[in-house]
Structure 1
């Protein structure tokens, strides 16, 4: 692993792109091989049945959610530990409207595995989007595309011809469903939070943004490397059970209010080189930029705190370099 030391965060030493090794088979080899061979046909059947047939039928949101839970049930993803910030155990039902993502809100989710999208779809029935590092606009994608993006190569920009939209426009277009954003733009191994995309800033000022952290036990059902279909299926289907630890932070919102107080008399003076209105616009723009950065930092810190990990400075560009080096050297591993 010394070859990839340059892809460790300088401050923490965390390597967010390295795959997590699975436990050795040992004496469990016969059981795991049996589970994989038994579950694989069932998993393929229920997955194809949903994406090819059921999702197009008028079975309603509850019917689709039930089908998605069947997909999660085949590999025995049963144990789900849900905690919501600011809510005591047993009182979530009384505060559901305020503490959980609702239609018209935005979910800023961690991104480590294809299971992320399926679980979010089974719980919230949202609209999925794809984010890119240097734009506030997002690409609307389907659930299947969101699943496949967990296996896709990282990309810093959308493909030519891709239609991008503002998050605020999606919220207005789909008022009865929440919007899911994966602001890290690519998958990790679950041991860090990457720099967040500006796509979250495309939401309107009053839109609630809920940071949601998804972590798995065992932790090796993640796909930090593109194209890892076979290894993921083996890890997912050969183990007896899997658990999901879900953490939902308090909602954040972007503050975009103009300066409420008039500037001082010294600021009001207009000269040949300066103008009072121009100065006011510059102050408002600076204030808005500070507020937007604070909101992104808040979401990033919430995801890191809930996932019990740290934020790192490595992003999509560094993962592209990592994937290229890994592809060149993996034949020697």
Structure 2
């Protein structure tokens, strides 16, 4: 894999886009084949039944969660290790504000289609898609979120995409949690990719929860698009899988401009009316620029600090490092990957 050395992070040497090899089954290969043959048909039937029928029926939140847990349980995802920053084991009921609730945002790591399924089975959230150079997000369904984990990175939204900022989307759905995948594409879970500026449109008082999801064995990640059979084999041929969930303390978007307190006018001589108009115009122009699509990445120190907080929390929770390779580098990597596969 030395030919892909250019897609290793310069600081850490981590290659986030290379697939994680599966451990050889050895003498257990017949047993793994048996599990694969038995599980795949059941998994496909349950998944198709849910996405084609059950999710459109009035089965309620509990019905949707139960259906999703059946989908997760069939391939052996039975053990979940959940830990929350600042909450001791057994005291979650006393610290309910430490978990995502209605009106909050989950900034989740992205490595596998299981990410969206698990988050949906626990929180019943709404999903949005982020892009590397846009502060707006695209509302998507759970099925689309799962499919995007198998697809090529999208650097820009399509012309038919209905984009919206997080503040407006939360106002439309005040009783729901919104899940954002700020890395914009999947990796192999060995690092955190650069954050999308879409998180900058979050309201200043809204809780943003960094959530890290890691898997054991780690080969059910999907850094390579359209690797459906490989994913199904790694998922369904092993007896069990473990998900390690880590939820950080909420982060607030302190980069939002706050209005300055109005100074009382004591005298017409003490206040220059034209200076006041000029100041108001500058502030209005700045707010308009920040809210427009022309502004791509963070433009202020506060904005960069907010995105750094989210990225650092994800890296700390996952016990990995932040990387300098993003969705654009993954597109270049996949081009080289396809060329190398054709030559074989």
Q: Report the TM-score range of the alignment, normalised by the length of the smaller protein.
A: over 0.9
TM superposition shift of 1:289:
2.4
Hey, what does 2:48 align to over in structure 1?
A: 48
1:14 corresponds to which residue? Answer: 14
Q: Distance in 2 between matches of 1:288 and 1:85?
A: 30
Q: Which runs of 4+ in 1 moved over 3 A?
A: 258-262, 278-282, 284-288
Paired with 1:36 and 1:129, the residues of 2 have a C-alpha distance of 32
Which residue number corresponds to residue 314 of structure 1? 325
Which position in structure 2 is the counterpart of 1:305?
316
1:280, distance to aligned residue in structure 2 (A): 7.7
How far is 1:175 from its partner? 1.1
- CA 261–269 in structure 1, closer or farther in 2 if over 3 Å, else same: closer
- Secondary structure of the equivalent of 1:154? coil
Match of 2:33 in 1: 33
Report what 1:211 is aligned to.
Answer: 210
Query: Could you tell me whether the CA contact under 8 Å between 1:211 and 1:302 is conserved in 2?
Result: yes
Task: Return the offset for 1:332.
Answer: 4.7
Partners of 1:84 and 1:99 within 8 A in 2? yes
Distance 2:299 2:171 in 1: 23
Q: Which runs of 5+ in 1 are unaligned?
A: 263-267
TM superposition shift of 1:160: 1.6
Shift of 1:290: 2.0
Shift of 1:260: 5.8
Taking the aligned partners of 2:342 and 2:299, their CA distance within structure 1 comes to 50
Return closer, same or farther for 1:261/1:19 CA change in 2, 3 Å cut-off.
farther
Q: Which residue of 2 aligns with 1:252?
A: 251
Question: Secondary structure of 1:75's partner?
Answer: coil
2:62 aligned counterpart, secondary structure? helix
SS class of match (1:156) = coil
Is this contact kept in 2: 1:269–1:276, CA < 8 A?
no
Instruction: Give the alignment's Cα RMSD to 1 decimal.
Output: 2.5
Aligned counterparts of 1:65 and 1:57: Cα–Cα separation in 2: 13
1:292 is aligned to 2:303? yes
| Separation (CA, whole Å) in 1 of partners of 2:78 and 2:260 | 50
Unaligned runs of 5+ residues in structure 2 are 264-269, 291-297
State the TM-score, normalized to the length of structure 1: 0.92
- State whether residues 132 and 158 of structure 1, in contact with CA within 8 Å, keep that contact through their aligned partners in structure 2: yes
Shift of 1:15: 0.5
| Count of residues in Structure 1 that have an aligned counterpart in Structure 2 | 326
